[in-house]
Amino acid sequence: MGTHISRPAADLRPNAPRTQPPLGPACKADPESWSLDHGGLPDWLRAIRICVTGCPLVQQCWEARNRLYPNEHPVGVIWAGTAYTDTGEPLLTQQALVEYASDGNCRRRQRRTVAA
């Protein structure tokens, strides 16, 4: 038994116009997803993957990051496919992200909760 996928008739025409997804950075539509204060490891990995593989502006984003932070790093965000800790340390490997998610980020959230 197979699964039948229903498609509109327009999709079956050989010369049917194809709709393109809107161009632009996904972080503009949902900036919270690029903050290390929100979500967790799966969310951060998804955001990095979107930046690196799906963003049409990743090169311009990297150039803007270098212009705005010539001698330091952004803090607590994912920018141009790189995650930065709350102290600005780049998390360049998946292992570094895992350690930050299980250790550093949890402590930072606890401090924020206690302070509130």
CA dist., res. 29 & res. 16, Å (int): 28
3-state secondary structure of 35: strand
73-77-82 Cα angle (round to 5) = 70
Quick check: pTM over 0.85?
no
Tens digits of residue pLDDT in 10-19: 444 445 455 4
Residue 42 has pLDDT above 90, yes or no: yes
Which contiguous run of DSSP H or E holds residue 91? strand 90-91
Closest by CA to 62, choosing from 37, 22, 25, is 25
The pair of structure tokens assigned to 104 is 């550093």
Among the residue ranges 24-33, 42-51, 57-66, 88-97, the one predicted with the least confidence is 24-33
Task: Give tens-digit pLDDT for 25-37.
Answer: 888 888 898 999 8
